[in-house]
Amino acid sequence: MWFLTHAWIIPALMALSFLLILFFGKKMPKKGSEIGIAAIGIAFILALLTAGSWYTHNNEEVEGHGDAAAMADVQEGCSNEVDHLAAEDHGEETEDAGDHEGEEPTDVGDSDEGTDDHALGQSDSGEYAAPAATSTAVASEGEEEHVTRPVVRCAAWAEIGTPGSSLITWGTMVDGQSVLMLVVVTLISLMVFIYSSEYVSGDRRYTHYFAFLSLFSASMLFFVLAQSTIQMIVGWELVGVCSFVLIGHWWEEKPNSNAALKAFLTNRVGDIGLLIGVAILYFAAGRSFSILDLNILAANGGISHGILLVASVCLIFAVMSKSGQFILHTWLPDAMAGPTPVSALIHAATMVVAGIYMVARLYPVFFEGLSISGSSVNFLAIVGAVTAMFGALLAFVQKDIKKVLAYSTISQLGFMVTALGVGAWTAALFHLFTHAMFKATLFLGAGSLSNAAHHSFDMVNDMGGMRKVLPRTFWTFIVATAALAGIFPLSGFWSKDEILAGHGSLFSAGGNGTYHVMLVMLLIGAFCTAAYMTRTIWYAFYGEFRGHGTPHESGSRITVPLIILATLGAVVGVLNLPEEIGPFTFPESISLQFEHFVEPVGAYFPTISHAEFNIPLAIFSLALALSAVLLTYLYYWKGAFKFLHGLSERNRVAGLGKTILVNKYYFDWLYTDVITGFVKGPAARATNWFNQHVLDGIVDGTAKGAVVAGQFVYENIDQKVVDGAVNGAAITTSEAGGVLRHLQTGRIQQYAALFFAAAALLAGVFVVAIG
């Protein structure tokens, strides 16, 4: 349990690496790269040990019966709403969660009785800990099915409202999904760090590069271990900031800084949906950011369908931006402006898969909100299928090898999103896992080709004939391409076909719906994938060398990561072999290991159906991929289909189609020329005119009116009335003083006479008044 409860050390280690490189890197012999490589190496080892601990923890028998065995290993005080539900279900009150802060994780023991909706446990002290699993599933033999017990640790961070009403916590939530990402992120990052030590050697910001590479890895690791949605937002934004820095690493060139800004601003558009979605779920979950609370409530009817629908749609917009889904995908190809190792890390294991991970982590929200089970269409599936097909088509017209791979990534992310949209949760995560291996190989291979082609990525004009001079790059690229195309028996075949089977086709058994339209779109995408990657191999490795100079194979710090990743991309498919393929039955020790390791079973995850391995569909998709390879081979290698050569120049329809693809469906034109151009052009001019003629006119008119009013007041009120009154008072006073001055003679007799006369006058007044 130590590695599971201390998983926070892994992102903390990479954050420490960032600080050490930033402050001491330039004084180190290798300019800080040795700190980064050592840190990510240790992090990878810790991730493997954490995976081993999770495997043991997930497979151990839990003493208890019924729902009592289906508990989470949760530090008390982590949950909010489910604690109250527990008290209500048992007729008891929970104690203040804040009193238990800092205690060790609690393995919840037996309770007297389980509930229908939640597997609630009671500790020895009589306090309820947050459950992680619903009533245990019962197998056909009558035996209870094993349930997932995530390991959650948290501490109080802030309190909202009155004491005890809403506690915001921070911590870690470790289960198969997060452990998978720990291994993937640290493995790909380790290969990228080693590769970068040679690829960016001599760069003017070499130390800065490795510092932010460390922070990038730390941010993604922090994100995948998040215990609450507020932590997910922090990790989500940190990944975005680091990508901005690394994409714009060579910011002196304007296209690079533009690409960084485009990535940053496009993601901010989608982040509005993330913030709104998380806010909705916070209030829907009884003022709780806890992922465990939220998932339990969503999966068990604690949140209304309408709220889940609105929240899931908002969150999908965040996925569209972060994971490059149509229509917010345009930043991703431009992100190739960054160093190639950064492209590999972004597109294989970090930023772009953050959206996939978020949907998978909050899957009950989407599963229930979009009514995935028993349906044939939903918003998430549509977004993914459109992205998978139309992204693949764009790769056909690219000359830059990195942009071919970028559009390939967009398409493959569409496969993952579609899988989540049709209920094939494990297939989506498995494809994320396999894709990380072979896509990182392809990007790093593109960097090796660029080194040989004098830092050019133009495969049409500056490459060709490289297979003989770059044999290790060539063979690793071939293996990764075959895996991406889904060629048997490489890993991509198993993960891609599991996604296709999950659509509930006519030949499939199982599945969560009948998503036939999405299946057809993915099959088209799969055909295009095999075709454009075969085209890429032709331009990069065959024909005559079209560049200048003498190309040569890259050094070992570049080729060794290629060999490791290509090997993994070829073999990791065996981690999730089906239980049987026709007459062949695999032993339980090797079949569906990935599913058992990663997919949760319990209250914080919906009950989903799993499609069986579909032999006809697998054969058809394999034949589709091989036919695409064959047709492309005949076209480029043998010069077949001569009528297709120059077709876009001869045929208006073909020409229109090519023009649309070359212009990337005009999304960049829409965003840059129309929307941004309108804001910077007509809208800016109209605003300036309004400012100059309306606002300034109002201000100037007000000022002129004030001047006229002031002049009137001065001349008529101040000068004639006020000054006249003052001057009149002064004159009156002066005249009265002159009259009274004659009375002041200094003669006692005169004063006495005046006094007597005044007294007589006053006495007369009194007499008249009294009478």
What pLDDT is stored for residue 85 in this prediction?
A: 42
What pLDDT is stored for residue 164 in this prediction?
A: 59
CA triplet 760, 762, 767: central angle to 5 degrees?
A: 95
* φ, ψ of residue 146 in degrees (nearest 5): -65, 145
pLDDT tens, 179-190? 999 999 999 999
What pLDDT is stored for residue 739 in this prediction?
A: 62
pLDDT value at 509 more than 90: no
Least confident of 296-305, 392-401, 499-508: 499-508
C-alpha 146 chain-centroid distance? 31
pLDDT band at 740; cut points 50, 70, 90: low
pLDDT tens, 399-423? 989 999 999 999 999 999 999 999 8
Q: Average pLDDT in the 276-302 region?
A: 89
What pLDDT is stored for residue 431 in this prediction?
A: 93
Report yes or no on whether pTM surpasses 0.85. Answer: no
Cβ atoms of 402 and 373 closer than 8 Å: no
pLDDT band at 73; cut points 50, 70, 90: low
pLDDT value at 66 more than 50: no
pLDDT value at 528 more than 90: yes
pLDDT band at 767; cut points 50, 70, 90: confident
What pLDDT is stored for residue 114 in this prediction?
A: 32
What pLDDT is stored for residue 564 in this prediction?
A: 95
Q: Which of 85-99, 390-404, 695-709 has the highest mean pLDDT?
A: 390-404
pLDDT value at 703 more than 50: yes
What pLDDT is stored for residue 566 in this prediction?
A: 94
User: Who wins on pLDDT, 542 or 162?
Assistant: 542
Cβ atoms of 406 and 336 closer than 8 Å: yes
pLDDT value at 722 more than 50: yes
User: Who wins on pLDDT, 587 or 559?
Assistant: 559
Average pLDDT, the chain: 82
User: Who wins on pLDDT, 111 or 700?
Assistant: 700
Contacts of 736 (CB under 8 A, 6+ apart): none
CA distance 750 to 755: 9
What pLDDT is stored for residue 67 in this prediction?
A: 40
What pLDDT is stored for residue 1 in this prediction?
A: 81
**Torsion angle, alpha carbons of 399, 185, 566, 387, to 10:** -40
Residues present in the chain in total: 771
Least confident of 60-64, 247-251, 621-625: 60-64
What pLDDT is stored for residue 742 in this prediction?
A: 63
What pLDDT is stored for residue 105 in this prediction?
A: 38
What pLDDT is stored for residue 627 in this prediction?
A: 95
Least confident of 154-158, 599-603, 677-681, 739-743: 739-743
Q: In what order do the strands lie in the sheet with 166-174?
A: 106-107, 73-74, 151-160, 166-174
DSSP codes of every residue in 534-603: HHHHHHHHSS---SSS------HHHHHHHHHHHHHHHHGGGGGB-SEETTEE--TTTBTHHHHHHS--ST
What pLDDT is stored for residue 165 in this prediction?
A: 62
Q: Average pLDDT in the 474-484 region?
A: 94
CA distance 341 to 346: 9
Cβ atoms of 438 and 408 closer than 8 Å: no
Q: Are strands 73-74 and 151-160 parallel, antiparallel or unpaired?
A: parallel
Cβ atoms of 261 and 321 closer than 8 Å: no
pLDDT tens, 213-243? 999 999 999 999 999 999 999 999 999 999 8
Percentage of the chain exceeding pLDDT 70: 84
pLDDT value at 656 more than 70: yes
Classify 422 as helix, strand or coil: coil
pLDDT value at 371 more than 80: yes
